[in-house]
Amino acid sequence: MGESKVGAVLVVGGGVAGIQAALDLADSGFKVYLADQSPSIGGVMAQLDKTFPTNDCSMCILAPKLVAAGRHPNITLITNSEVVGLNGEAGNFEVKIRKRSRYINEDKCNGCGLCAQKCPVEAIDTYNKGLTDRSAVYVEFPQAVPLRFKIDREKCIGCRTCQEVCKANAVEYYQKDSEVILNVGSIILAPGFEPFDARLKSEYGYGRYQNVVTSIEFERILSASGPYGGIVLRPSDGEIPRKIAFVQCVGSRDAQLGNNYCSAACCMYSIKEAIIAKEHVPTKLECTIFYMDIRAYGKEFDAYYKRAKEEYGIQFVRSRVASITEDQSTGNLFVHYVGEDETPRIEEFDMIILSTGMQPPKDVEKLAKVLGIKLNKYRFCETGAFTPLETSKPGIYVCGAFSSPKDIPESVAQASAAASKAMAIIAPERGKLVTVKEAPPEIDVGQEEPRIGVFICHCGINIGGIVRVPEVVEYAKKLPNVVYAEDNLYTCSDDTQKRIREKIKEHNLNRVVVASCTPRTHEPLFRETVREAGLNPYLFEMANIRDQCSWVHMHEPEEATEKAKDLVRSVVAKARLLKPLKNPTVKVTPVGLVIGGGVSGMTAALELANQGFEVHLVEREKELGGHLKKIYYVLEGEDPQEYLRRLVKAVMEHERIHVYLGASVVEVNGFVGNFKSKILHNGEEKQVEHGIVIVATGATEYKPKEYLYGEDTRVLTQHELEEKLAEGKFNAKKVVMIQCVGARNEERPNCARICCGQAIKNALKIKELNPDADVYVLYKDVRSYGFKEEYYREAAAKGVLFISYSDEKKPKVTNESGKLKLAFWEPVLKQEIQMEPDIVVLSAATIPNPDNKRIAEMLKVPLTKDGFFLEAHMKLRPVDFQTDGVFLCGMAHSPKFIEESISQACAAAARAATILSKKELEMEGIVANVDEDLCSGCRICEYLCPYGAIEMKEKDGKLVAHVIEALCKGCGVCGTACPTKAIILGHFTTEEILAQVRAVLKEMEAIAA
Amino acid sequence: MAQGKLKIAFYWAASCGGCEIAVLDINEKILDVVQIADIVFWPVAMDIKYKDVEAMPDKYIDVCFFNGGIRNSEQEHMAKLLRQKSKILIAYGACAHLGGVPGLANLHNKKEIFEKAYMSTFSTDNPNKVTPKPKVHVKEGELEIPEFYDTVKTLDQTVEVDYYVPGCPPAVERTLYAIDAIAKGNLPPKGSVLAPLKSVCDDCSRKKENKKISKIYRVYEKVPEPEKCLLEQGILCMGPATRGGCGARCLNADMPCTGCGGPCPNAPEQGAAMISALASILGLEEEKEKYTEDEVEKLVTQIRDPVGTFYMYGLPASILKRKVMRE
Amino acid sequence: MSSQKEFEPKIVGFLCNWCSYAGADLAGVSRIQYPPNIRIIRVMCSGRIDPAFILEALKNGADGVLVAGCHLPSDCHYISGNFKALRRVTLLKKVLEEFGIEPERVRLEWVSASEGDKFAAVVRDMVEQIKKLGPNPLKMEAKQT
């Protein structure tokens, strides 16, 4: 038993990171258990209103992932649970999990919510951060997955009303906690974070002053589904505030609290909240952000920061707030702080938001003890500089905010990365524990007259209490082609599924309509049911008579019943026209192509190879290593050159990796699963076939034009300094470093992310070599986010002087008769300082690889304005391109530290594995199709497709459009634009929708014609 | 077909008469027609009275080519009469098929049209505001003229139509195709448009490369590049949404298609099809972060006379058929 | 007082699956009440909404048509379908005006998955607005002829 491996993974934590890891693993052929302490998955992201820097609605982008995880045949959700025991070792663990009782039978509860409506208890709503009430029997939020209720026994008064009203008999008042033992090969920890308890900063008055709220509470206030319906109101009196302030670094960067780290996301989320607040408040709203450094270090973040300042007029005040006091008569607040001119000030606000930092979840020590993993001094998970995903225990991996504070895209990337690690050690077990559903052969209904069965749900009394369901059933029976109709207490229950299958057989139904809740949650279930009865799953259609009828017209039973009839009639009219659809499949060549042989490319290649896939790795230079070749130290102390040597060796020696040095990819054809590309190598073109592409083309250091660089040899870049330090050629006594050279300016508005860390690293190295050396760092903001903050502090403690400068008063470097002179403005002393440094070191930006443009065109993927590659979605798809089968990682995406590149590279490999692990890809059946007899080659559709799924091909000497089914997502934009309507979107055909339109408006005599 | 010569009729309803000329455009082929057919009714060319037609037995005429829409009572009467007397009724040309250019009158009603035509134009002198009346008493007796309707209808909105020959006027090849099919007796299923399935783009030899446009030019504002798709040059061309089979003659003369061929077979409506297509590609390149509803408004305002553009021939055949008139 | 019932407009709503339809569902889950005048037709993306659908709805007597999609610029599940909807509806409204139909009968709204209250407010407002406009003039005409 000890030697055998298990093809299953336990993911602990069901936030966005845990969900992503679970989906990647499950999509790659592994069984996944996704455990979360809460009664539903979603984590903190489910509470957010919008996300930066795109202001996407958080729930809109998260909900599809929740549903995907909830429905995945290879993912088992174990909510309301905790890990209590672990045995075994990497590859074969035995995990004991305690499931806390919900007091509701999960299998019976169908989430109808009647219990919560009738529950007489008002309890604090934790989802809305205590700003509203909920009942004692509850779900955390309406989109909760799994949509199963839970009784809060601490609040419950035991009246048993819920038990009486529950038509599903799901309430189990004496349900006990239970334990399960899981056998898994590896474990991923994604327990996330919890916001710092702002009460501990008593000087800010949180908990005492009603109008001091935390940032997460403010997210709820901003949210349309929040306590005030998206209207910004202050809690004390429900007034619309006119002047609000954000106080940064609450619980972060705070030595007194021992939280000597930066929480990495707060600057950006505060800017976002300020922007959204301004958009929400119709009258003028003044927003001020009190900050120490604005850490807008991520991709496109600075542009967002700039917009906040310039377009939205948000005020930024550099100051650590000393305290907050309240005017008891008005509830207004006074912020006490020291201005940039060092004078104490007091400013009055209507409301204050504390940007609370991230800290590890409270029970994390217990978890660490059970699993035997080490935590760092802040109780985050301990990881290495080059092993960001590995915990101290083999076989257990970490991702998300638990390894260090981070924002959503980095958590998502790490989640995929951890999935890659978790699957590599059990790669041979792939596919062994997953369930493959067998369905009976499909009945051919092609030529038959439609025979429609209609099933109308009471949903307990949710529908039936308002809509007169039996009347709707009788009505439905008279509709054209309806041969059977009935009502059900719960159409979604297991026994009704059985009944639907029986009725299909009994009445030879060839179309099925269910009128109940919403297709968004239940369509997949019913499709499965009709499929099990031998019908094509697309011969099913749903009418929404609960969420969009009975629930919103609760006091109008007459109108609601009429509306339900209209909706059923409309959907039946569509159902008459439904056609079976085939889910297209494409074969997959299980080979990867990685472009770029730096640390990212090598890591990605190695990960894929370790998972059992063949890889072609193409590097432009004569040797592997890329940017890493020039890095001699890292802040955390490890030796990057040693790491590089090991990595290169592993890559070169790997039997499944083919390395092409001094080579380039010159042509890429095909699509996901089936690429054919040409590699130019040693003057010869070699053709390779592969299923995916990973772009890891890296970036380069900007060659400054500023500050006498290139004219005076005493002006160096950080890389050049690092090389000197490494070679022992460094002996300067007075060093000035200038930050943001070639970044955060007109030409390149965004931050280059890594230069602050570089400067601190090199400053510390200089101090290590010569403690008496004077080192000055002239900066705009010191962006030592996460645990790098510690080194900033260490440098400051060792006497490195950090002096801020602004764009208006940039430092000046001159050569006066051979003497290197530097002048800068000292903002505290308010005077210009002259000095003669031995060397001036420029923290030069990291800029995109100039070859990106060519590669982008070749792969038909987009670049940002700055010239880095642009991923599919900045939040949730950080390493995917919009084009399926093409991924990116490392500095091709944006500047980043080594461990971040490693994480992204592993992530890209995991995402690629979801494709390469399949013999063939099965696509969703709802895709566009071209009728070549009608397509006239106008090419209107071609560039509309955001997925590049339309290509023109030749037919009879003329061009016609062709949909690459493998890339089509079924949005229908092309067919709607098609002026000849030669493009037809399955399941949403023009004919079907027009029939629906006519039917919904006309009485049934009219549609029978 | 029946033994002996075919009996053919031609009729001219609400149209400009171009279709009559189009019949002659087939040049010497007309002789072939005469070889196989007798023309039994053709008011523009032959002196045959309505009463002669009325006297014909039902289905006496083998094929009737009916051009023009239905805008007055006489046309309606003749449509019904010829339907009764013909085995095959063909809506010949855009007006019979779709309503045609006269169909644009559906943006007005009889009252407005009379007011314009008989009173308010610059060259009209009509102090007594006399407008046509169906019946007028004069000293010689009662005069009758056809009643003018509020709405122009297509032929098939009036009587059942067997086939359609599209075009304004129909291209020679369309007429020949119809005659050939009739002569050989291999007509497609009833209700067919006697044209290829594809759009004008299929006929058009201009190069189509990249359909993203942001500026729209009117025909006189730009000398088009000779070989490039006009729409790609910002010149509004209805070709993509218009049934072809015309040889793209307008495009060959550097003029955009104005849509006389009518909708493509799958499209519910020609106008909507073009609106959707054009709006999709107009400003496609500019779609980005800061793309406001105002900017879209500006983009769209570039299109002058939208109904005239998208429904030049097809207003009576469109989904809404006409403008809603209010008192 | 007239014994005739007050005019109750019929509104057809075309909603994208990912944001607006989800927002309409959320209105239900949150039990936000709105007038029962709307009939929703679900499409996957607002970019699937063909001007012909809107015309067909009007022709068949809809007093108003709501087109709702994901917020601009980047909420669209299919990246940019909402932009297509915006342009198509804007252009169609120009055409409708020429057809003598009040463009206000067709309304384009961005409703996110978390805006149940906004969805309800849009419906409420639209019902009010269309009550003021009166019945679809095409219906009146159909009765006359």
Average pLDDT per block of 10 residues along chain A, 1009 residues long: 83 98 97 97 94 83 87 94 97 97 92 90 85 90 89 91 92 94 98 96 96 96 86 92 97 93 97 92 89 95 93 94 96 94 93 97 95 96 96 98 96 98 96 86 90 95 93 97 95 88 96 95 90 96 96 95 97 97 93 98 98 97 95 95 97 98 95 95 96 97 96 96 94 96 93 96 96 96 96 96 94 95 91 95 96 91 89 92 93 97 98 96 92 97 92 94 93 97 97 97 53
Count CB pairs under 8 A between chains B and C.
92
**Chain C: partners with 3+ C-beta pairs within 8 Å:** A, B
Rounded Cα distance, B33 and B176, in Å: 10
Among the partner residues C84, C98, C137, nearest to B107 by beta-carbon distance: C98
Give me the residues of A, 961-990, that contact B with CB < 8 A: 973, 976-982, 984, 990
Give A265-289 as a DSSP string. Answer: SHHHHHHHHHHHHHHH-SS--EEEE
Tokens representing residue B217 in the block: 């030019």
Q: Which of B212, B244, B268 sits opposite A994 (nearest CB)?
A: B268
Q: Which amino acid is at A1007?
A: I
Chain C nearest-CA distance from B318, in A, is 9
Question: Are residues A259 and A202 part of one domain?
Answer: yes
The tokens describing A510, both together, are 């060839």
Q: Pick the closest to residue C109 from C130, C127, C91, C89 (CA basis).
A: C89
Domain residues for the domain of A425 are 1-100+177-193+360-433
Strand order in the sheet with A333-338: A321-326, A333-338, A344-349
Q: Give the N- to C-terminal CA distance of chain C in Å, as an integer.
A: 30
Contact yes or no for C112 and A566 at CB 8 A: no
Q: Kindly state the tokens that stand for A293.
A: 């450094």
DSSP 8-state symbol, A932: T
Q: What is the pLDDT of residues B128-156, one digit of tens each?
A: 999 999 999 989 999 999 999 999 999 99
- Residue of chain C minimizing CA distance to A224: C115
Residues of B in contact with C141 (CB under 8 A): 324
Q: What is the CATH number for A93? A: 3.50.50.60
Whether residues A325 and A253 share a domain: the answer is yes
Between B197, B244, B284, which is nearest A943 by CB?
Answer: B284
The pLDDT of residue C142 is above 70: no
Residue B63, judged by CB atoms within 10 A of its CB (0-12, 13-18, 19+), counts as buried
Quick one: A234 and A329 in the same domain? Answer: yes
Both A689 and A541 in one domain: the answer is no
Q: How confident is the model at residue B327 (pLDDT cuts 50, 70, 90)?
A: low
Considering only CB atoms, C100 lies closest to which of B287, B310, B324, namely B324
Token pair belonging to B255:
């003029």
Question: Which of chain A's residues have a Cβ under 8 Å away from the Cβ of B319?
Answer: none
In angstroms, what CA-CA distances link A600 with A389, A627, A639, A902, A928? 15, 10, 17, 6, 36
Helix orientation angle between A301-310 and A266-280, rounded to the nearest 10 degrees = 40
Decide if A442 is inside a domain: no
Do A29 and A431 touch, CB atoms closer than 8 A?
yes
Query: B207 — contact with chain A (CB < 8 Å)?
Result: no
Q: Do C101 and B269 touch (CB under 8 A)?
A: no
Kindly determine whether residue C52 and residue B289, on different chains, have CB atoms separated by under 8 Å. no
C138 contact residues in B (CB cutoff 8 A): 320, 324
Q: What is the CATH number of the domain that holds A511?
A: 3.40.50
- Are residues A43 and A93 located together in one domain of the fold? yes
- Which residue of A118, A276, A555, A976 to mutate against C (max C Cβ within 10 Å)? A976
CA dihedral for A517, A519, A522, A526, sign (positive or negative): positive
| Beta bridge pairs of residue A594 | A617, A694
Burial of A237 (0-12, 13-18, 19+ CB in 10 A): exposed
Question: Which among A339, A292, A287, A291 is positioned nearest to A309, based on CA atoms?
Answer: A287
User: Per the domain annotation, does A239 fall within a domain?
Assistant: yes
For residue B2, the model assigns a pLDDT of 45
Chain C contact present for A926, CB below 8 A: yes
Tokens of A242: 């006119």
Determine whether the interchain pair B279/C87 forms a contact, defined as Cβ–Cβ distance below 8 Å: yes
A209 lies in the same domain as A340: yes
B273 touches chain A (CB under 8 A): yes
Chain C interface, mutation test: which of B264, B280, B303, most C Cβ atoms within 10 Å?
B280
| Helix/strand/coil (H/E/C) assignment for every residue in A32-44 | EEEECCCCCCCHH
Mark whether A480 and A602 lie in a shared domain: no
Q: pLDDT-based confidence at B33, cuts 50/70/90? A: confident
Cβ–Cβ gap B211/A981 under 8 Å: no
Burial class of residue A573 in the structure, from the number of CB atoms within 10 Å of its CB (0-12 exposed, 13-18 middle, 19+ buried)? buried
3-class SS letters over chain C? CCCCCCCCCCEEEEEECCCHHHHHHHHHHCCCCCCCCEEEEEECCHHHCCHHHHHHHHHCCCCEEEEEECCCCCCCCCCCHHHHHHHHHHHHHHHHHHCCCCHHHEEEEECCCCCHHHHHHHHHHHHHHHHHHCCCHHHHHHHHC
Angle of helix A718-727 versus helix A755-769 axis, rounded to 10: 30
Query: Which domains, ranges and CATH numbers included, belong to chain B?
Result: 6-101+153-184 (3.40.50.700), 108-149 (no CATH), 200-310 (no CATH)
Q: Write the burial class of residue A437 (CB in 10 Å: 0-12 exposed, 13-18 middle, 19+ buried).
A: exposed
Instruction: Give the CA radius of gyration of chain A.
Output: 30
The DSSP element (H or E) to which A608 belongs, if any, is helix A599-610
- Residue A1002 domain-assigned (yes or no): no
**Does residue B289 register a pLDDT over 70?**
no
Question: What's the full length of chain C, in residues?
Answer: 145
Q: Report how many domains make up chain A.
A: 7
Residues of chain B with C-beta less than 8 angstroms from the C-beta of A944: 280-281, 284
Take residue A818 and report the two structure tokens written for it.
């051979």
**Do residues B314 and B152 make contact, with C-beta atoms less than 8 angstroms apart?**
no
- Looking at the structure, tell me whether residues A127 and A45 fall in a common domain: no
Choose one of A553, A575, A597: the last residue of a domain.
A575
In a domain, A635, yes or no: yes
A292: enclosing H helix or E strand: none
| Burial of B272 (C-beta count, 10 Å sphere; 0-12/13-18/19+) | buried
pLDDT of residue C3: 45
Beta partners for residue A694, in sequence order = A594, A887
Contact status, residue A399 vs residue A390, Cβ threshold 8 Å? no
Q: Which of A847, A865, A889 is the last residue of a domain?
A: A847
Judging contacts by C-beta atoms under 8 Å, the chain B residues touching residue C50 are: 268, 272, 276
Residues A902 and A792 in one domain: no
Give per-residue pLDDT as tens, C61-94: 999 999 999 998 878 889 899 999 999 999 999 9
* Cis previous bond, B169, omega within 30: yes
**In sequence order, what are the beta bridge partners of A86?**
A95
Cα gap A796→A800, rounded to integer Å: 5
Is A374 at the interface with chain B, CB within 8 A? no
Strands A585-587, A801-804: pairing kind = unpaired
Sequence letter at residue B78: M
Q: CA B152, CA B105: separation in Å to the nearest integer?
A: 7
DSSP for residue A624: S
CATH of the domain at A171: 3.30.70
Q: Is A581 within the bounds of a domain?
A: no
Tokens at B119, concatenated: 């009173």
Return contacts of A939-943, CB within 8 angstroms, 24+ apart.
Answer: A939/B208, A939/B209, A939/B210, A939/B211, A940/A977, A940/A978, A940/A979, A940/B211, A940/B240, A940/B277, A940/B280, A940/B281, A941/A974, A941/A975, A941/A977, A941/A978, A941/A983, A942/B211, A943/B210, A943/B211, A943/B212, A943/B281, A943/B284
Measured in angstroms, the CA of C22 and the nearest CA of chain B are apart by: 23
| Min Cα–Cα distance to chain B from A944, Å | 7
Task: Identify whether A53 is preceded by a cis peptide bond (ω within 30 of 0).
Answer: yes
Q: CA–CA separation, B233 vs B212, rounded Å?
A: 9
Do A230 and A287 sit in the same domain of this protein?
A: yes
Cβ neighbourhood burial of A401 (10 Å; 0-12, 13-18, 19+):
buried
* Cβ contacts of C14 on chain B, cutoff 8 Å: none
Question: pLDDT tens digits for B64-123?
Answer: 999 999 999 999 999 999 999 999 999 999 999 999 999 999 999 999 999 999 999 999
Residues A861, A721: one domain?
Answer: no
Write the pLDDT tens digit of every residue in C92-141: 999 999 999 999 999 999 999 888 899 999 999 999 999 999 999 988 76
Q: Are residues A611 and A507 in the same domain?
A: no
CB A358 within 8 A of CB A265: yes
ipTM > 0.85, yes or no: yes
> Rounded CA gap, C137 and A204, in Å?
62
On whether residue A1005 sits in a domain, the answer given is no
Cβ <8 Å between A59 and C43? no
User: CA distances (Å), A149 to each of A104, A106, A112, A113, A619, in order?
Assistant: 7, 8, 9, 8, 54
What is residue A492's predicted lDDT score, i.e. its pLDDT?
86
Bridging pattern class, strands A983-985 and A928-930: antiparallel
Closest residue in B to A993 (Cα) is B268
**Whether C91 contacts C54, CB under 8 Å:** no
Query: A358, A391, A420 — which closes off a domain?
Result: A358
Whether the Cβ atoms of residue A668 and residue A693 lie closer than 8 Å to each other: yes
What is the C-alpha separation between A617 and A405, in angstroms, rounded? 33
The DSSP output letter for A781 is S
* DSSP states of B108-159: S-HHHHHHIIIIISTT---TT-----SEEEETTEEEE-PPEEEEEE-GGGTS
Cα A197–chain centre separation: 25
Q: Exposed (0-12), middle (13-18) or buried (19+): which is A322, by Cβ within 10 Å?
A: middle
